[in-house]
């Protein structure tokens, strides 16, 4: 059974979301698309919360969100426990968000990335494993209460 990736966007990210959806399906992933399903205006927190609830709740392991810049959806998604949403805008940020930060939600900018770059970022993010080691300790401290009070970070 293929891995399911949950996917959502606002109106500014709709076109790129549709490209990402096709790209994921072409790669053999199952895609759960929580919308939006047109270019009509919607509020980005609504789709971000739907994706983040599924990832943070453990129903799916990974998700992708798209808005104009990726910033708004990442901010909303990161309000959920267990979600590490990262805005990636080039190869390096895509790789490091996985390798060092174990991101489980990728946020992309529909108005700031061309589609070919967005697909390359997505591929790098999907294929890069979490390095663990010293990074695992740091990632554990992301959750509130995850570290010792007053401990040096």
Catalytic residue numbers read 67, 100
Residues in a beta bridge with 105: 63, 85
* Phi (first) and psi of residue 9, to 5 degrees: -155, 165
Q: Which two tokens stand for residue 31?
A: 């895609």
Spatial separation of the C-alpha atoms in residues 131 and 61, rounded to whole Å: 17
Spatial separation of the C-alpha atoms in residues 64 and 70, rounded to whole Å: 10
118, 24 in Cβ contact below 8 A?
Answer: no
Q: Which two tokens stand for residue 95?
A: 């790789």
């Amino acid at each position: 059974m293929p891995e399911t990736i949950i996917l959502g966007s606002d109106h500014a990210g709709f076109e790129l979301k549709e490209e990402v959806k096709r790209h994921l399906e072409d790669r053999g992933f199952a895609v759960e698309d929580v919308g939006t399903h047109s270019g009509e205006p919607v509020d980005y927190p609504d789709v971000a919360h739907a994706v983040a609830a599924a990832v943070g709740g453990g129903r799916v392991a990974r998700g992708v969100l798209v808005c104009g810049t990726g910033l708004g959806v990442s901010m909303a998604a990161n309000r959920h426990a267990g979600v590490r949403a990262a805005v990636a805008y080039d190869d390096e940020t895509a790789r490091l968000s996985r390798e060092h930060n174990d991101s489980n939600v990728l946020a992309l900018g529909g108005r700031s990335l061309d589609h070919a770059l967005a697909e390359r970022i997505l591929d790098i993010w999907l294929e890069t494993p979490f390095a663990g080691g010293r990074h695992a300790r740091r990632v554990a401290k992301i959750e509130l209460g995850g570290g010792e009070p007053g401990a040096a970070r």
